[in-house]
Amino acid sequence: MSKTILITGAAGFLGSHLCDRFIVEGFRILGMDNFITGDKDNIQHLFDHPNFHFIEHDVTVHIDIKEPIDYILHFASPASPIDYLKIPIQTLKVGSLGTHNLLGLAKAKNARILIASTSEVYGDPLVHPQSENYFGNVNSIGPRGVYDEAKRFQEAITMAYHRFHGLETRIARIFNTYGPRMRLNDGRVIPAFMGQALRGENLSVFGKGTQTRSFCYVDDLIEGIYRLLFSDYSNPVNLGNPDEITIIEFADEILKLTNSNQKIIFKSLPEDDPLKRQPDITLAKKLLNWTPQISRAEGMKLTFNYFQNLSKEKLTKIDHKDFSKHIKQ
C-alpha cells in the first residue's frame, strides 16, 4: 500500500512542487493549506488525482486526522518579507503553535516529520559562507524578527521533541530558491525583477546592490528535501546553491535575459536586510550526496518563460493580498 504524507503549505511555491514530487513517487498526499499566501492554481491540476486529498485548514488550530500518516512535511508559513511584515503575528503563530500542533500529530501517528527552516536563522551573518554550526546574528525585535525567530523557535521545539520524545525529525535550512509558481509580486528579488522587466519598469535595487544572494532552482531543492527526509540525520542541513552573486550583477543578468532597455534605480536598504548570503553545503554533499545540478542561467530561463506566459492580468496586477479573512490574531 502507498505511504501517506501530509504536506502543509501545499498550495505554496515549495509545497506544490513537493506535492508533485511525492505523487510521482507513488505516495498518497494529504495537502493542507489555508490559502493565506498559497494559491489554489498551484495545485489545481492535482484535485482529480486519486492519490491527492486536499484539506483546507489553518495549522495553528488543532489538527485532527483520523487515518494513519507515515510522513509530515511542514512547509506552512509566510516566506516573503511583504507577507510576514503584513501578518507578523500569524507568522509567529505558524512557526510556534503550528509547529507544535504538527509535532504532536507526528508523535501521535508515529510519523517522521521534516520542517522547513530557513537561512534567515543566520540573520545578517558575521560568518561567510554560513555552515550549520554558525549560531547566527539576528535582531529579535526588528521587523524581520517575526520570521527569523519563528523559524529559530521552530528548530528548537523540533529538536526538543526529537530528544525528549524520540520523534524522528529532519530540519531543512532552505536558502534562496526560485522557479515557476513563485508569486510575481511577493517582494522577493527574482519575481520582483522579472515582473518589473516584463512590465517595462525600471529595476529597483536596494542599497548599493553590493549585498549578495545565492539562488537555487526549485527542482534541485526538492531533490535535496526528498533525500533529507529519507536520511538518518536529525540536525539541521543547509540546502541551497552556493553560487553567490551581488544583487547589482544579478539585475544586469535579468536585463540581458529579458532583453529589456530599462534602467536600474536605487532605493534605501530595508532594516536588517542581510548583506551576505551563501550556504556552505559540505554537509549536504557528504550526507545526502546532493549538489545543485541546474545552473542559474538555465533556471532563470525556465523561470522567465513561466512569468512570460502568465496572463496579462496577472502580470500587471500588483498583489496586495487581503489577509484579513484568513487571520485570527
* Contact between 285 and 239 (Cβ < 8 Å): no
Q: Which three cell numbers stand for residue 39?
A: 494559491
Alpha-carbon distance of 305 to 18, in angstroms, equals 21
Question: What is the spatial distance between Cα 226 and Cα 211, in angstroms, rounded to a whole number?
Answer: 30
For residue 318, give the C-alpha cell.
500588483
φ/ψ of residue 172, rounded to 5: -100, 115
Say if residue 70 is exposed, middle or buried (CB neighbours under 10 Å; 0-12, 13-18, 19+): middle
Collapsing DSSP states into helix, strand and coil, what is residue 10? coil
How far is it, in rounded angstroms, from Cα 41 to Cα 321?
A: 15
- 71 tagged catalytic: no
Q: Which of 84, 147, 161, 217 is catalytic?
A: 147
Strand 177-178 with 112-118, pairing: unpaired
Contact call for residues 37 and 76 (beta carbons, < 8 A): no
Cα-based angle 173, 95, 122 (whole degrees, multiple of 5)? 35
* Cell, residue 251: 539585475
Half-sphere exposure of 110 (CA within 13 A, CB side): 1
The rounded distance, in Å, linking the Cα atoms of 63 and 66 is 10
Q: Please, which residues bridge with residue 118 across strands?
A: 174
Q: Which residues belong to the active site?
A: 147
